[in-house]
Structure 1
Amino acid sequence: MHPPLAFVTAAPPASAPVTKPEVAGQGSGEPRRSRLPQVLFCLLLLFCLTPWASPPLALALGLVLAQTVGNPFPARTKAATAKLLQYSVIGLGFGMNAQAAVQAGSQGFLFTVASIAGTLLLGFLVGRWLGLQPRLTHLISSGTAICGGSAIAAVGPVLGAKDEEMSVALGTVFVLNAVALFAFPPLGHWLQLSQQQFGLWCAIAIHDTSSVVGAAAAYGDQALQVATTVKLARALWIIPVAFGTAVLFRQKDVKVKIPYFILGFVAAMLINTYLPGAQAVGPVLVRLAKVGLTVTLFLIGAGLSMQAIKTVGARPFLLGLLLWVVISTVSLLVIRQAL
């Protein structure tokens, strides 16, 4: 902070007209205009709390806000997004049965292992073909293979990735996440996928947990249960992939951020399944969790500014797009044949 400046004023000459200071809100109207982003942000946020808002609509409203007047609270929304998503996911656990979740997770286990290994290998090959830096290639591949921004945030420090590389990788998966949230539900209906098929497809083919849960919630309750369970089981692969990254890139003193909120999700499922009386409050908590998810997607959309999109670049985005198309197509074909 600079020290305050002292100004010495002199009386105006006799010939100079004395002007009155402008009153806030009059004249230029600058103070009123400066409050417009805050007002719009708050109004849209309140709308996302209503039953008329849906996850895709909330994301769209956030994107429109970011591309027009901008996000007036970028630091606060970034900090709130991760926490709100974690609490929302835990809340969804109060609407799930543990036995059914174990069955869904076991069905998606082989898909998870094969898709993660295949995506990382394909990313390495395509990244070399495009002439991208190995660190950036591995960040985008990890985000596509596991769980988007969470995987990038965990693998980045292990790699010693630069801020620019982190921004490009995050921007790539966030843009594709937004596309997936809008595209997958109508595609699922057009392909006549069952609730179980669609939930499994979402968990494998969409990057971030927020978009997975949002797309599945728009498709149906059963799809939501399958998608959430399989995606969170998939998120645990952050840990072995991060340690494997340390070995591959010869890094030492590895510190991996473990997604502990998954334990909260499992605890919520167990409470809902085995604790008498939990079913009475479960629907209320699930409803609140879905509202929290809707608000989360609005905050994610509000944080995706045009500047963030421009930082991506053509070749990194092409890598992310090719990986996403391949994993979406192959997983869809396998799921339709297996289920």
Structure 2
Amino acid sequence: MSAVQDDLDLSDRTSSARALPGLAALGRRAAKVAPGLALAGGVAAAAYGLRASPVAPPVSPVILAIVIGMAAGNLFGVPAWARPGLAFAGRTLMRAAIVLLGLQLTVGQAAEVGAGGLAAIVATLVATFLFTSWAGRRLGVAPGLTQLIAAGTSICGASAVAAANAVTRAPEEDVAYAVACVTAFGSIAMFAYPMLAGPLGLDAQAYGVWTGASIHEVAQVVAAAFTHGPEAGESGVVAKLVRVMMLAPVVAALSFAALRRAGGGDAARAPFPLFVLGFVAMVALNSVASIPADVTAAGIAATATLTVSLAAMGMGADVSKLRSKGWRPLALGLAASLFVAGFSLALVKLFV
């Protein structure tokens, strides 16, 4: 019996000895990323504080975070001790935010807009992405930046830009430029759409679906849609959430396209973005299970996590490189925004 006990004790000691190096490595990794992560968190907190102030501009903390991060990074520089944590925030936290975003969505929401509305939303998304990709080639905009602008315009603004960047792996300057584009033109749409509803002859539901199918950020959709009452507001939010659900297939398609372009070899080993599967799993879970209200508050956590991630990306963006990109990406963002507005309006008129 004692021999058996001795063997068990030796096995336990061996397992513990094997576990210790792994725990030590994890501790070193945490200590390495903690300072930069705290710095990005501080910038995100400043963004939330500014958003809560009486003089706050009508944009989300996500946008404010990347602006504050860019200002801080370019004015004061990024210390070497912060770089590992900023890289962690800009990549790993972004993926976690997209996964958490899935808990805000259900498959049943797609049914609420009706077959016509769903067809208009999906067709608008696909057509806008293809048009933006074509226009980017014609304007001579870099492919990575073109894809980021296409994703942000056709799906869901800054969240889609960050998710698509997991595949495109564009520089921080491209991410910042794409976020600036979709924010600027989405903000213009947020103020312009309410003035156009009457002249265009749109009822509450049609107007709501139009806003949800074409305005870039969720907050911008809410602001524009609810100006025409609760029915328009609810239709707009549901339509927008259906667009957000398309984030997974679009990012997956971008990943497969990147692999096909690589054509084999080391360049073709780009990993499939597994966070997309996590996003799909969360949507499925929220669709079949009764998720408690405190869990669906994960949407708040998703926004906060994405805010920290984009704060980190903003700190790494070089403003001089942004200026060097010239007018072409801005023209692309304008063309894409006009296209998504006009194309979606035509389909809403036909099908909703």
Smaller-chain TM-score bracket: 0.5 to 0.7
**Kept in 2: contact 1:85–1:293 (CA 8 A):** yes
User: What letter matches 2:183 in structure 1?
Assistant: A
**Kept in 1: contact 2:149–2:161 (CA 8 A):** no
Change (3 A) 1:54 1:271: farther
Residues 1:316 and 2:334 are matched in the alignment:
no
Residues 1:307 and 2:318 are matched in the alignment:
yes
Residues 1:92 and 2:108 are matched in the alignment:
no
Name the residue aligned to 1:26. none
Per the TM alignment, residue 108 of structure 1 is displaced from its structure 2 partner at its CA by: 4.8
Change (3 A) 1:225 1:146: closer
Per the TM alignment, residue 319 of structure 1 is displaced from its structure 2 partner at its CA by: 2.4
Name the residue aligned to 1:25. none
How far apart, in 2, do the equivalents of 1:63 and 1:317 lie? Answer: 18
Name the residue aligned to 1:30. none
Name the residue aligned to 1:269. 287
Please point out which of 62, 75, 90 is paired with 2:65.
Answer: 62
Residues 1:256 and 2:272 are matched in the alignment:
yes
Change (3 A) 1:53 1:105: farther
Per the TM alignment, residue 236 of structure 1 is displaced from its structure 2 partner at its CA by: 1.5
**Kept in 1: contact 2:98–2:163 (CA 8 A):** no
Change (3 A) 1:105 1:69: farther
**Kept in 2: contact 1:197–1:335 (CA 8 A):** yes
Please point out which of 170, 175, 183 is paired with 1:178.
Answer: 183
Which one has a bigger Cα radius of gyration? 1
What is the DSSP-based 3-state SS (H/G/I as helix, E as strand, rest coil) of the residue aligned with 1:126? helix
**Kept in 1: contact 2:124–2:154 (CA 8 A):** yes
User: What letter matches 2:111 in structure 1?
Assistant: V
TM-score by length of 2: 0.59
Change (3 A) 1:290 1:242: closer
User: What letter matches 1:80 in structure 2?
Assistant: L
Name the residue aligned to 1:110. 119
Residues 1:329 and 2:337 are matched in the alignment:
no
How far apart, in 1, do the equivalents of 2:41 and 2:272 lie? Answer: 36
**Kept in 2: contact 1:216–1:223 (CA 8 A):** yes
How far apart, in 2, do the equivalents of 1:250 and 1:307 lie? Answer: 28
What is the DSSP-based 3-state SS (H/G/I as helix, E as strand, rest coil) of the residue aligned with 1:56? coil
What is the DSSP-based 3-state SS (H/G/I as helix, E as strand, rest coil) of the residue aligned with 2:314? coil
User: What letter matches 2:289 in structure 1?
Assistant: I
Per the TM alignment, residue 83 of structure 1 is displaced from its structure 2 partner at its CA by: 1.8
Residues 1:231 and 2:231 are matched in the alignment:
no
Per the TM alignment, residue 155 of structure 1 is displaced from its structure 2 partner at its CA by: 4.4
**Kept in 2: contact 1:56–1:214 (CA 8 A):** yes
**Kept in 2: contact 1:171–1:311 (CA 8 A):** no
TM-score by length of 1: 0.61
How far apart, in 2, do the equivalents of 1:289 and 1:298 lie? Answer: 14
Change (3 A) 1:46 1:175: closer
**Kept in 2: contact 1:48–1:58 (CA 8 A):** yes
Change (3 A) 1:228 1:54: farther
| CA RMSD of superposed structures (Å) | 4.4
Per the TM alignment, residue 330 of structure 1 is displaced from its structure 2 partner at its CA by: 1.9
**Kept in 2: contact 1:143–1:149 (CA 8 A):** yes
How far apart, in 2, do the equivalents of 1:42 and 1:234 lie? Answer: 27
Name the residue aligned to 1:19. none
Change (3 A) 1:115 1:70: same
User: What letter matches 2:177 in structure 1?
Assistant: T
Change (3 A) 1:126 1:53: closer
Name the residue aligned to 1:189. 194
Per the TM alignment, residue 239 of structure 1 is displaced from its structure 2 partner at its CA by: 2.7
What is the DSSP-based 3-state SS (H/G/I as helix, E as strand, rest coil) of the residue aligned with 1:86? helix
What is the DSSP-based 3-state SS (H/G/I as helix, E as strand, rest coil) of the residue aligned with 2:184? helix
1:36-47, aligned counterparts within 5 Å?
Answer: 42=45, 44-45=47-48
How far apart, in 2, do the equivalents of 1:37 and 1:117 lie? Answer: 34
Change (3 A) 1:187 1:230: same
Q: Deviations over 1:279-313 (max 9, x none)?
A: xx33x444x24533553564466343562544644
Change (3 A) 1:146 1:180: same
**Kept in 2: contact 1:239–1:256 (CA 8 A):** yes
Q: Deviations over 1:87-144 (max 9, x none)?
A: 1x23423xx6x54433437445533553355345434543343244556655654554
User: What letter matches 2:139 in structure 1?
Assistant: L
**Kept in 2: contact 1:91–1:265 (CA 8 A):** yes
**Kept in 1: contact 2:185–2:337 (CA 8 A):** no
Name the residue aligned to 1:14. none
**If each structure's helix is expressed as a fraction of its own residues, which one has the higher value?**
2
Percent identity, aligned pairs only, is: 20
- Structure 2: unaligned runs, 5 residues or longer: 1-37, 227-232
Between Structure 1 and Structure 2, how many residues are aligned?
279
Q: Deviations over 1:8-37 (max 9, x none)?
A: xxxxxxxxxxxxxxxxxxxxxxxxxxx999
